[in-house]
Amino acid sequence: PERIIIEATGRLEMPFIMACAKANLPFVIANPIHIKRFAGAIGQRAKTDRLDAQLIAHYGEAIKPNLSQLKPDTMQTMSDLVARRNQLLVMQTMEKNRLQILPKNLAMTIKPILTAFKNQITKIENKILELIERCPDYQAKNTILQSMNGIGKIASASLISNLPELGYMTNKQASALVGVAPMNRESGRFKGHRKIQGGRHQVRTVLYMAMMSAIQSNPVFKETYQRLVAAGKPKKVAIIACVRKMVVILNSMLRDGVLWEAPKA
């Protein structure tokens, strides 16, 4: 086969494309939004499993999307590197907390460990950047993500590794997957405050830190944050709302393959 096309379904397609990659078969992970638009363009409205399969095949013949360059070992290596960096950051934070509460004469037992953590984190980050540079698929995503002020190399790597569905789903699904979509708490006459819950906490933590930078350097998020705080929202709630907006925008950027453009004054 010249091109095997499977629609992205939110990681359910991963075992299939891993098998394709190991068997050296050419595959494409098609964006469901693009296929839906293609169906609209050719006037296909009916929807069954057989028609969906024919539609995806027709999309491949007509559009001839580029083959994916992702390799199983590349995907696994990226995931392992980001996971290891998160582990080192957790241990680094623990040691920093101990430095604050232990007597000063014991600081000498902690500072060398913090230095070692810092060096290892830097090495991991360099490996992540090297991996992104070697992989065209990662490189294209990285360019789009980092075009937004506030998204740096680590936030981009975390999104690429821990949220590969980004760009292949609706904005509501993206917000829920990160865990920044507010959930209702109502039962009978009781109406509680809506709270976020679930989602991928590693991504949420990285984006929370990215937003701390974005509300200083990105006029869109700065204006949103200041408006919410002025309206009486707690600062943390305002930041999470901005993160949700960031996720929605990034999802749309990756879906459409466009770079960030700040609105003109």
Query: For 87-106, what is each residue's pLDDT tens digit?
Result: 898 899 999 999 989 888 88
Residue 146 lies in a domain: no
Please, how many CA atoms are within 13 Å of residue 108, restricted to the half-sphere of its CB? 1
Average confidence (pLDDT) over 137-156: 91
Last residue of a domain, one of 63, 84, 103: 63
| Tokens read off for 114 | 């913090």
Please tell me what DSSP assigns to residue 68: P
Task: Report the candidate in 197, 196, 205, 185 with the shortest Cα–Cα distance to residue 237.
Answer: 196
The answer to whether residues 164 and 231 belong to one domain is: yes
Please tell me what DSSP assigns to residue 10: S
The answer to whether residues 203 and 226 belong to one domain is: yes
The answer to whether residues 172 and 97 belong to one domain is: no
Residue 248 lies in a domain: yes
The answer to whether residues 32 and 79 belong to one domain is: no
The answer to whether residues 84 and 53 belong to one domain is: no
Q: Cβ neighbours of residue 47 under 8 Å, at least 6 residues apart? A: none
Are 45 and 35 a contacting pair, CB within 8 Å? no
Residue 140 lies in a domain: no
Range of the domain at 36: 4-63
The answer to whether residues 167 and 251 belong to one domain is: yes
User: What was the pLDDT predicted at 183?
Assistant: 45
Last residue of a domain, one of 63, 87, 111: 63
Residue 68 lies in a domain: no
Question: How many CB atoms lie under 10 A from the CB of residue 145?
Answer: 24
- Is residue 131 within a helix (H) or strand (E), and if so which, with residue range? helix 111-134
213: exposed, middle or buried (C-beta count within 10 Å: 0-12, 13-18, 19+)?
Answer: middle
The answer to whether residues 171 and 218 belong to one domain is: yes
User: What was the pLDDT predicted at 181?
Assistant: 63
- What would the pLDDT profile of 208-223 be if each residue is shown by its tens digit? 999 999 999 899 999 9
Amino acid identity, position 85 = R
Give residue 229's pLDDT band: very low, low, confident or very high (50, 70, 90).
very high
Question: How many CB atoms lie under 10 A from the CB of residue 60?
Answer: 17
Residue 142 lies in a domain: no
Residue 196 pLDDT > 70: no
User: What was the pLDDT predicted at 260?
Assistant: 93
End-to-end Cα distance, the chain:
51
User: What was the pLDDT predicted at 191?
Assistant: 46
Average confidence (pLDDT) over 223-246: 93
The answer to whether residues 120 and 203 belong to one domain is: no
The answer to whether residues 208 and 242 belong to one domain is: yes
CA distances from 45 to 130, 175, 179 (A): 44, 28, 33
Residue 223 lies in a domain: yes
Residue 238 pLDDT > 90: yes
Please, how many CA atoms are within 13 Å of residue 225, restricted to the half-sphere of its CB? 20
Q: Cβ neighbours of residue 143 under 8 Å, at least 6 residues apart? A: 259
The answer to whether residues 123 and 191 belong to one domain is: no
Question: How many CB atoms lie under 10 A from the CB of residue 20?
Answer: 20
The answer to whether residues 181 and 236 belong to one domain is: yes
User: What was the pLDDT predicted at 182?
Assistant: 58
Report the mean per-residue pLDDT for the chain. 84
Last residue of a domain, one of 13, 45, 63: 63
Q: Report how far residue 113's alpha carbon sits from residue 111's, in angstroms, rounded to the nearest whole number.
A: 5
Residue 154 lies in a domain: no
Are 205 and 215 a contacting pair, CB within 8 Å? no
User: For the chain, what is the domain count?
Assistant: 3
Residue 241 lies in a domain: yes
The answer to whether residues 185 and 236 belong to one domain is: yes
